[in-house]
Structure 1
């Protein structure tokens, strides 16, 4: 019997779980249109949902988090100020079109450089709900998030646009003109990480991805890995400066592994959280709200 349907709906991704008692996964869907593609469909978000999990929609409560609650999503929900925990997110659920939407978080809303997130807060809550420790977290992605939790509450975070900057430089800058596809080279990545934590302006160091190739000191098929390492190295050197303990990486696949390599190279202990943090966070928020 379905107790809850949880959805993690991002800009370019869609994941959903049909859960039974105590959050046990009965069925899962790991692919589907992100909010940009879904919003452009003739039937919009409702049609996208019907196409992917229509057979699950039998009256069980549905809860969703991620960019689906952004200005480009199904419904725009307000940001909650820090600190926040699962109870605060449960109290602020927005019911719209029969779906309970988890809102995002805002840091320093009245300051000179406010920051926001949508979706990552649910993943961190999932980690904490599963018995995970407080501390420093990094959630790699197009816009990486560095967050700190104390006493079971998210107390601070900041965004770093590493993934998007890498894509722009690779696809739309002079650096990308020399890049050739390759199988991936960890040595080139590590070399980039070392360049990433050096002193000097990042924009100046980035240009080494071109000059090293021009001087035949970096193979064309290794440029992308070197550039990725340089950007991640700079991000990690800044983000983990005051780690004060192990850094928990919440992410999937090769990207999470790259962040662990960079942290290990800097002598900072790092662990990759087990998969399913978004699902677990959705269950915890729904449980507190009395939906599951």
Structure 2
């Protein structure tokens, strides 16, 4: 029997789970349109949802998190200030078109540089609900999140635009003119991490991705890996200045592995969380919100 439908809906991704009475996955969909593609459909977000999981929706409670609650999403929910946990997120659910939307989080809303997240808070809650301890959480992506949990609550976070900057540099600057596709080079990535951990202005060190290639000291098919390592290395080196306690990476695939490698190069052991953190977070929030 279906107890809950959970949805993690991002800018370019869509994942949904039909869950049973104990939160177990009965059925899963992982290939739906992200919010940018869904918003362009004739029926918008509602049609996109019906196309992917319409057969599930028989009155079962539905809960969703991610960029679907942003200004570009289905409904814009408010940002919840820190500290927060599953119970506070449950109290702040927004009911819209029959769906319970999880709000985002805001750090230092009245300060000189407020920061926000949507979706990552649910993944962190999922880790904590699964018995994971406090410490530093790193969620790689287009906009990486560095978050700190204490006492089972999210207490601080900041955003680093590493992924977006990498894409822009590779595709839209002179650094990318020499880049050629290749099988991937772990050595070039680690070499980049070493360059990224060095002192000095990052914008100056980035240019080495071009000059090393010009001097025939970096093969063209390794430039992208070197540049990725340099940017991630700089991010990790600066992030560790404020780090204490265990480090957990919440992410999937190659990107999570790259961050784990970068931490290792800098002498830090980081664990990669098992898959399913968003789903587990949605279940815990729904449970505390009385949806199931």
- TM-score of the superposed pair, with normalisation by structure 2: 0.99
Tell me which residue corresponds to 1:43: 43
Tell me which residue corresponds to 2:155: 155
Partner SS state of residue 27, structure 1: strand
Tell me which residue corresponds to 1:240: 240
Query: What is the distance in 2 between the residues matched to 1:235 and 1:60?
Result: 42
Tell me which residue corresponds to 2:283: 283
The answer as to whether partners of 1:20 and 1:26 remain within 8 angstroms in 2 is yes
The answer as to whether partners of 2:192 and 2:225 remain within 8 angstroms in 1 is yes
The alignment yields a C-alpha RMSD, in angstroms, of 0.5
The answer as to whether partners of 1:249 and 1:273 remain within 8 angstroms in 2 is yes
The answer as to whether partners of 2:134 and 2:246 remain within 8 angstroms in 1 is no
Tell me which residue corresponds to 2:209: 209
Partner SS state of residue 5, structure 1: strand
Instruction: Give the number of equivalent residue pairs.
Output: 292
Query: What is the distance in 1 between the residues matched to 2:209 and 2:110?
Result: 38
Tell me which residue corresponds to 2:200: 200
Question: What displacement does 1:22 show?
Answer: 1.0
Question: Which of structure 1's runs of 4+ aligned residues deviate more than 3 A?
Answer: none
1:131 aligns with 2:131: yes
Question: What displacement does 1:60 show?
Answer: 0.3
Tell me which residue corresponds to 1:185: 185
Unaligned 5+ segments in structure 1 are none
Match runs of 1:7-156 below 5 Å: 7-156=7-156
Question: What displacement does 1:244 show?
Answer: 1.8
Question: What displacement does 1:151 show?
Answer: 0.4
Query: What is the distance in 2 between the residues matched to 1:22 and 1:108?
Result: 36
The answer as to whether partners of 2:140 and 2:251 remain within 8 angstroms in 1 is yes
1:265 aligns with 2:258: no
- Once the two structures are superposed, residues 240-264 of structure 1 have per-residue CA deviations (whole angstroms, 9 ceiling, x without a partner) of 2232222100000000000000001
- Once the two structures are superposed, residues 64-86 of structure 1 have per-residue CA deviations (whole angstroms, 9 ceiling, x without a partner) of 00000000000000000000000
- Once the two structures are superposed, residues 150-207 of structure 1 have per-residue CA deviations (whole angstroms, 9 ceiling, x without a partner) of 0010000000000000000011110111000001000000000000000000000000
- Once the two structures are superposed, residues 107-159 of structure 1 have per-residue CA deviations (whole angstroms, 9 ceiling, x without a partner) of 00001100000000000000000000000000000000000000010000000
Partner SS state of residue 50, structure 1: helix
